[in-house]
C-alpha cells in the first residue's frame, strides 16, 4: 500500500450487495468484509448498528496485499535468524498480519500507537525500518527508533503496561485541545487477550472512560496467552467487556484486513472527534509459537491450527484479487520477489550489526542525564578499563 493515507471509503464499486449484521448474541458476531473464501461483503453492521465498509482503489487493494506478504516474510526471516542464534528471542506475528496491517494503515499520520512486543506489522506501517525490532531482540539496542518521530512508542514487554501509558498520553492529547476534526489526534493501544486479565488494562479502561480519552483499545485476541487458552481469561466475548466500562466494543474478523481497517478507522475517527474510547477485539489466531522459546504442540492440537489455516489472511486477499481481476500472477510473483529481496537485505544487515559499547547502557536513560548516573558511568568506565587490553 502507498505509504500515504489510504482513504477510508464509502462504498466498493465491485462488492456484491450484501449486508451482514454482527449481532451481540448468536452468530455471526464478527464484523467481516472479506470471507475466508475471498468473497466481498459490501457492508457489515456492528453490534450497535454502525455500518462498516471500505472503498479502496485497485492500487490500494494491491498495496494492502503487498503489506501482508512483506510483513509475513520479514517475520519469517526473523524467526529463522533466531533459530540460527543471531537473535536472542523473537515473538512472531504469523497469522495476525491482517489485524496489524488493517489497523496500522487505518492510523492517520498524527495518531500515536502504543505496541506490545509483537506489533511488527504496525511498526512496518508506521514507516519504521523493520531492522529496528531485530536490534532489540538481538540485544544490541533498546529499540532504536524515536517514538515521537514515527508516532509509535517503544515495544513494551510488561503485559498491559502500555495501555496505561496510552491512556495518560490520550488524556494529555485531549487536555492540549488536539482533538476535533480530521486533524485531531487519536491514540491506539495494542494488547493481547491475556492482557485483559491484568489490572493495568482494567484500570486504563476506567480512566479512559471517565475522562473520555481519545483512545482505541485494540485487543488482538489470538486465543492464547502463552499456553493459557482464552477460556482462562473470560466467560464473555472480550469486546462485550467494554459495555461495563461505559464505552462501545466491537469484534472484528482479525484475519480480514479490510474489516480490520474499517473498524479501526471508524473508532479512531470517533476518538479524534471527541467521542471517547472504544474497544476493538480483533478475533484472530497465533499460528506460530508464543515466542521462539515456546513449543505450542505441548498445549494445543493440530486440528485447531489447521482450522485456522483455512482462514488465512493472505490467502483470502489473494483469492479476492484474482476473482475480481484486480491482480494477476505477474503481480503476485513480483510481490514475492520483493519480499525475498527485502528479507535477504534484512538478514545481511542483522549480521553486520555492531555490538554496543557496554558503557552505552547509560545513554538515553534521561533526556539530560543526571549527576548520579554520570557518577555510575564514570565508575563503570573505570572498571572496564581495569581489564587487561581493554579498548574501553
Ligand atoms: C506483567 C507481566 N506478567 C507476565 C509476563 C510474562 N508474559 C509474557 S507474554 C505473556 C502472555 C501474554 O498473552 P497475550 O496478552 O494474550 O498476548 P500475546 O503474547 O498472545 O500476543 C506473559 C504472561 C509479562 N511479560 N509481564
Ligand atoms: Mg494472546
pLDDT of residue 2: 41
Question: 184-217: per-residue pLDDT in tens?
Answer: 999 999 999 999 999 999 999 999 999 999 999 9
pLDDT of residue 292: 98
Cell output for 72: 509475513
The ligand 1 atom nearest the CA atom of 157: 25
What is the distance in A from the centroid of ligand 2 to the CA of 308? 15
The ligand 1 atom nearest the CA atom of 91: 19
Is the distance from CB of 193 to CB of 160 less than 8 angstroms? no
Residue 51: how many CB atoms within 10 A of its CB?
14
**Cell 483470502, residue?**
316
- Ligand 1 in reach of 351 Cβ (< 6 A): no
Question: 368-380: per-residue pLDDT in tens?
Answer: 889 999 999 999 9
DSSP conformation letters of 87-152: SS-----TT-HHHHHHHHHHS-TT-EEE--S--HHHHHHTT--THHHHHHHHTSSS--S-HHHHTB
What is the distance in A from the centroid of ligand 1 to the CA of 279? 19
C-alpha dihedral (232, 248, 28, 254), degrees to nearest 10: -70
Pairing of strands 278-283, 215-221: parallel
pLDDT of residue 392: 55
Q: Which residues, at least 6 apart from 367, have a Cβ–Cβ distance to it below 8 Å?
A: none
pTM listed for this prediction: 0.93
- Ligand 1 in reach of 254 Cβ (< 6 A): no
DSSP at 238: G
Nearest CA to ligand 1 atom 8: 159
Q: Compare 327 and 392 and report the one with higher pLDDT.
A: 327
20 confidence band (pLDDT: 50, 70, 90): low
- Ligand 1 in reach of 190 Cβ (< 6 A): no
Measure the CA angle with vertex 292, ends 289 and 293; round to 5°. 100
Candidate from 194, 217, 222 with most ligand 1 atoms within 8 A of CB, to mutate: 194
What is the distance in A from the centroid of ligand 1 to the CA of 232? 13
Question: 322-358: per-residue pLDDT in tens?
Answer: 999 999 999 999 999 999 999 999 999 999 999 999 9
Helix (H) or strand (E) holding 264: helix 257-272
Q: Which of 119-123, 142-146, 209-213, 248-252 has the lowest mean pLDDT?
A: 142-146
Over the range 368-392, which residues count as b (16 or more CB within 10 Å of their CB) and which as e?
eeeeeeeeebeeebeeeeeeeeeee
Separation between Cα atoms, residue 206 and residue 46, nearest integer Å:
23
105 confidence band (pLDDT: 50, 70, 90): very high
Is the distance from CB of 279 to CB of 199 less than 8 angstroms? no
Report the sign of the C-alpha dihedral through residues 178, 184, 185, 187, in that order: positive
Cell output for 312: 488465512
Cell output for 256: 480480514
pLDDT of residue 14: 47
Which residues carry out catalysis? 286, 290, 299
Range 286-311 average pLDDT: 98
DSSP conformation letters of 350-382: HHTPPPPPGGGGGTTSSTT--HHHHHHHHHHHH
Range 254-267 average pLDDT: 98
Backbone angles phi, psi at 71, to 5 degrees: -70, -30
Question: 262-298: per-residue pLDDT in tens?
Answer: 999 999 999 999 999 999 999 999 999 999 999 999 9
pLDDT at 25 over 90: no
Separation between Cα atoms, residue 322 and residue 152, nearest integer Å:
34
pLDDT of residue 365: 87
- Ligand 1 in reach of 290 Cβ (< 6 A): yes
51 bridge partner residues: 45
pLDDT of residue 21: 59
Cell output for 221: 485476541
364 confidence band (pLDDT: 50, 70, 90): confident
- Ligand 1 in reach of 159 Cβ (< 6 A): yes
Q: Across the chain, what does the average pLDDT equal?
A: 93
Amino acid at each position: 500500500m502507498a505509504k500515504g493515507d489510504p482513504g477510508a471509503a464509502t462504498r466498493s464499486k465491485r462488492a456484491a450487495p450484501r449486508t451482514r449484521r454482527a449481532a451481540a448474541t448468536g452468530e455471526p458476531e464478527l464484523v467481516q468484509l472479506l470471507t475466508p473464501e475471498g468473497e466481498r461483503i459490501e457492508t457489515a453492521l456492528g453490534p450497535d448498528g454502525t455500518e462498516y465498509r471500505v472503498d479502496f482503489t485497485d492500487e490500494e487493494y494491491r498495496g494492502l496485499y503487498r503489506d501482508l506478504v512483506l510483513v509475513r516474510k520479514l517475520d519469517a526471516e526473523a524467526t529463522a535468524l533466531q533459530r540460527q542464534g543471531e537473535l536472542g528471542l523473537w515473538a512472531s506475528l504469523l497469522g495476525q498480519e491482517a489485524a496489524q496491517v488493517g489497523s496500522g494503515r487505518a492510523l492517520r499520520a498524527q495518531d500515536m500507537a502504543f505496541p506490545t512486543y509483537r506489533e511488527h506489522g504496525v511498526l512496518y506501517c508506521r514507516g519504521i525500518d523493520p531492522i529496528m525490532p531485530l536490534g532489540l531482540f538481538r540485544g544490541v539496542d533498546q529499540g532504536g527508533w524515536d517514538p515521537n518521530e514515527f508516532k509509535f512508542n517503544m515495544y513494551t514487554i510488561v503485559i498491559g503496561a502500555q495501555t496505561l501509558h496510552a491512556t495518560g498520553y490520550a488524556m494529555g492529547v485531549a487536555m492540549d485541545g488536539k482533538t476535533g476534526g480530521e486533524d485531531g489526534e487519536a491514540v491506539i493501544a495494542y494488547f493481547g487477550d491475556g492482557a485483559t486479565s491484568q489490572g493495568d488494562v482494567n484500570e486504563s479502561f476506567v480512566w479512559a472512560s471517565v475522562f473520555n480519552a481519545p483512545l482505541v483499545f485494540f485487543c488482538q485476541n489470538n486465543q492464547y496467552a502463552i499456553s493459557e487458552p482464552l477460556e482462562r481469561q473470560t466467560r464473555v466475548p472480550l469486546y462485550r467487556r467494554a459495555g461495563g466500562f461505559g464505552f462501545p466494543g466491537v469484534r472484528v474478523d482479525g484475519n480480514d484486513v479490510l474489516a480490520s481497517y474499517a473498524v479501526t478507522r471508524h473508532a479512531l475517527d470517533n476518538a479524534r472527534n471527541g467521542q471517547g474510547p472504544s474497544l476493538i477485539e480483533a478475533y484472530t489466531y497465533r499460528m506460530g509459537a508464543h515466542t521462539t522459546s515456546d513449543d505450542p504442540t505441548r498445549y494445543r492440537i493440530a486440528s485447531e491450527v489447521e482450522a485456522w489455516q483455512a482462514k488465512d489472511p493472505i490467502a483470502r486477499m489473494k483469492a479476492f484479487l484474482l476473482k475480481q481481476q484486480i491482480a494477476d500472477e505477474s503481480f503476485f510473483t513480483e510481490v514475492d520477489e520483493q519480499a525475498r529481496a527485502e528479507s535477504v537485505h534484512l538478514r545481511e544487515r542483522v549480521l553486520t550489526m555492531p555490538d554496543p559499547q557496554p558503557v552505552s547502557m547509560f545513554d538515553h536513560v534521561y533526556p539530560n542525564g543526571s549527576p548520579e548516573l554520570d557518577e555510575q558511568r564514570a565508575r563503570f568506565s573505570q572498571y572496564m578499563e581495569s581489564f587487561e587490553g581493554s579498548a574501553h
